[in-house]
Structure 1
Amino acid sequence: MTIIEVCHVPPFSNSSRSTPTEFSLPLNFSDIFNLKFPPVQSIFFYKLGESTTTFFKAVILPKIKHSLSITLFHFLPLAGYLSWPQNSAKPVIIYNTANDGVLLTVAESDEDLDHLYSDIRYASESHPYLAPLSASETKASILSFQITLFPNKGFTISYTLNHAVLDGRSISLFMNSWACICRNLDANVKISPSSLPEELNPSFDRTVIQGSEALEMKYLNYWLELKVPGSDVSPRSLKPIPFPVLADVVRATFQFSREDIKKIGERVHSKSERGNQTKPFSTYVLAYAYTLVCMVKAKGLKNNNKVKFGLTTDCRTRLNPPLSRNYIGNCVTSCDVLVEAEHLLKENGVVYVAKRLNEMIKGLENGVLEIAKEKVPFMDMEPGVRVILVAGSNRFGKYGADFGWGKPMNVEITTIDVGESFSMMESRDESGGVEIGLVLKKHEMEIFDSLFVHGLKMLRSSL
């Protein structure tokens, strides 16, 4: 791969709209929970036969840059940086017009684009196409991007984000806004920023989150007191805690059709009739339950092995008062349950997981902040327990990121190669379908593939 350019993209300057030269934005309780977690990284793959080097440099790249600048105009705090001043009890987002913007790396690769998004391949093959993000003890970038050209094949756009500032819904809104602006750019108008449709207008209002001050300090004190083995960095450092990247693992994508989800739902519901389950299980729960059981079996876990599985749920509509769905920042909480693997290895393992997930979701009705009080980062990492989590959601609309040359062929949540987790998003080609991203050892992936495909085939024939 060859680096063509590394540039700084500032927010679009519009003289007709007054923009503050400097401002700060506080972090909320959910931001602080994620303060030192590793950055989140994702890659969008676009296939485009006419993407010659000349067309890329003359058409694609200028539109990408210009629309990114305009998008930052609408998402101004994301052009700033994270800081923890000595005179501030909490970290803050700072924006200063004179210096701020995002880093954009432009590269070119002669690798096989089709292989990178469609085949089972080593997870490390994605790493060259990821955007770098800077972080020091006193200052951390919020967002960076890399666009990589594969001549005559297509291109990729990747992002790396600071998890203390953005969650999955936030970055999906940003990417869809950027894509909307790019595909609607008038080539003859270079000075007036496009307006965003109402459903994409972001909200940064922190004043609407009420009653979380004690929770913020609890999480901050946790980070301040945390001792990382082998590290002597300051407790106020903004550097993320490094997580080991798994070696020699492969990545693959699996598909649930809408009919597959329906069949799983029928099976789960039929086995739950004697209980109190009257409301249909959600697509998210059904896809999660089926995938988790296949993973546990593929990893060869035994009955007495302990497994902790859980979910991260959006809290925007669950707070009192509720936040806008377009609120930009972290607004999630996690729920999990510790079980012995035997519950997942039985014939009705999918039913068991689906019911436990539903119980967790129902428990959120008792108050998001009350549940969050019970959580502290890393507290639940018990020795000998296999923790399996899910990243993303089938409701974020990742495949809406059409920059004007078609929607992505694939979207990869690359950071699932840290730890044991899988990703979930909506299907590219079918409403109601679900896509699962997975990183496993090669022999585990072969077993998972067989279990996943065979299980769905059996469901289709038996119901």
Structure 2
Amino acid sequence: MSSQSVQHISECYIKPSHLSQDSKKVIHLATWDLAMLSFHYIQKGLLFKKPDAQHNFIQPFLESLKHALSITLAHFYPLAGRLARKQQDSRSFIVFIDCVNSPGARFVHSSVDTTISDILSPPYVPVIVQNFFDHHKAVNYDGLDMSLLTVQVTELVDGIFVGCSVNHSVADGTSYWNFFNTLSHVFQGSQVTPPVHERWFPDGYGPFIGLPFTRDDQFISRYDAPVLKERIFHFSVANLARIKAKANANCKDNKAIRISSLQALSAIIWRCVTRARGLTEDQITSCCMPANNRSRLDPPVSKNYFGNCIQILRTFTTASKLLENNFEWAALQLNKTIVQHDDESVRKSVATWLETPITYQLAQLVDPGTVVVSSSPRFNMYGNEFGFGKPVAVLSGYGNKFDGEVTLYQGSEGGGSIDTLICLNPNIMRALECDEEFLDVLNCSC
């Protein structure tokens, strides 16, 4: 790689093209939003090929993107705001979104003397990619002083990277990609579907939920990840169909059970990472998977709900049980956990949180027996275009990564394929790369 330095060329702030009466109101944070205050920003973006034989295209493109962002922010106005804090009494305070008293969303133009091949050809994701995003190592609580959204456009020698850093207390993955998809639609002049900004609260609660802390260090911590290897593995449509069929064949006596390809793949990754880690037989291992609560609530919340509406579901067993049984058994355990997560379960967990409010700490997820699956291949990633054609890759920044973190992307070949970013200790990564079960799912010709 010819350079390890990303040069910032310019930056500015973008405000919504217009403000509705609703956008001038305070946006209250719900339980799932407040629980994310100590996590990092969401950092995801798309890599495009630079147009051939087009000189001086970058400035017109930047102006068009800024214009599209301003219009998009008129719909997603919380992203142009800032977090604000107000003391309720001597023992608690509230955090909310101030959509008015803010300079807007941040827009950065940068460049790097690097090619697309430099980024995509190495087996491991180069560290330089972390510099394609703003808010490096920032936690969501920093949104009191930092932008809640930064769009960074980085010019490569032969490519363009469009990356967004979004405060995770303001939006979850569904909301993030709804915003990104809308930005693409506006850029192309297409119609958009406005998001729903009214936050969900259980009966009798909200809109102000107090946090019972007197010092920031009681609920905010800053996690620094160790040296990790990040590698993107591609799982084809055919191989995913094969493991899905195999997992469901094991449940043929109970037609009510339907194991998804995502559950089957997560089960295999869980097993293979656990084997690579060399855990003792009685050591507890777990697989954490996100659940979108929008459809699980009764009545359901709109799919366009803007905010956090997710919950991490954890499936436990011992290393010996996980490895002595086949992957179909592991997939069934994940399926049981997900199926049991219904309206009653969601409301019960929210009630428990309200009794004793907490914020999730990244360090608590870092456990030698834990695998955490995040994001979703169902998000529309490769459908975003900004005049350069289809993206060639989806990439992510430093945020919320640790040993055992797995990020699921829409597969670049489409059709239901999945690209999976796995972050591991270098020694464990080497062991995973030699694991026969893992290699079979990657390479088997069906």
> In which range does the TM-score fall when normalised by the shorter chain?
0.7 to 0.9
What is the distance in 2 between the residues matched to 1:458 and 1:145? 37
Measured against aligned partners, the alpha-carbon deviations of 1:33-82 in whole angstroms (never above 9, x if no partner) come to 2122222212321122438662212x321111111111111111211111
Aligned to 1:246: 226
Letter in 1 for 2:387: G
* Contact 1:413 1:423 (C-alpha < 8 Å) held by counterparts: no
Alignment of 1:126-205 (within 5 A): 126-132=129-135, 136=142, 138-151=144-157, 153-184=158-189, 195-196=191-192, 200-205=193-198
* Contact 1:422 1:438 (C-alpha < 8 Å) held by counterparts: yes
Aligned to 2:292: 314
Change (3 A) 1:383 1:291: closer
Measured against aligned partners, the alpha-carbon deviations of 1:383-439 in whole angstroms (never above 9, x if no partner) come to 965222111012221222222212221112333533421001221222121111112
* Contact 2:10 2:108 (C-alpha < 8 Å) held by counterparts: yes
Alignment length, in residue pairs?
Answer: 427
Aligned to 2:378: 395
Letter in 1 for 2:260: S
* Contact 1:212 1:369 (C-alpha < 8 Å) held by counterparts: no
Mark the runs of 5 or more structure 1 residues left unpaired by the alignment.
Answer: 185-193, 226-231
What is the distance in 2 between the residues matched to 1:119 and 1:408? 18
What is the distance in 2 between the residues matched to 1:110 and 1:137? 31
Letter in 1 for 2:164: Y
* Contact 2:151 2:163 (C-alpha < 8 Å) held by counterparts: yes
Alignment of 1:189-338 (within 5 A): 195-196=191-192, 200-206=193-199, 209-211=201-203, 213=205, 220-221=211-212, 224=213, 233=216, 241-247=221-227, 249-273=228-252, 276=254, 278-338=256-316
Aligned to 2:332: 355
Q: Pick one of 354, 369, 392 that aligns with 1:409.
A: 392
Deviation at 1:333, TM superposition (A): 1.4
What is the distance in 1 between the residues matched to 2:196 and 2:395? 26
Aligned to 2:78: 77
Deviation at 1:91, TM superposition (A): 0.8
Change (3 A) 1:51 1:453: farther
Mark the runs of 5 or more structure 2 residues left unpaired by the alignment.
Answer: 1-5
* Contact 1:390 1:421 (C-alpha < 8 Å) held by counterparts: yes
What is the distance in 2 between the residues matched to 1:250 and 1:345? 24
- When normalised by structure 1's length, the TM-score is 0.83
Deviation at 1:363, TM superposition (A): 0.9
* Contact 2:14 2:104 (C-alpha < 8 Å) held by counterparts: yes
Change (3 A) 1:293 1:91: same
Measured against aligned partners, the alpha-carbon deviations of 1:137-182 in whole angstroms (never above 9, x if no partner) come to 954532112110013x111111212111110000000000001111
Q: SS of the residue aligned with 1:164?
A: coil
RMSD of Structure 2 on Structure 1 (CA): 3.0
Aligned to 2:322: 344
Change (3 A) 1:182 1:333: same
Q: SS of the residue aligned with 2:87?
A: coil
* Contact 2:83 2:143 (C-alpha < 8 Å) held by counterparts: no
Change (3 A) 1:78 1:209: same
Alignment of 1:29-68 (within 5 A): 29-50=31-52, 54-57=56-59, 59-68=60-69
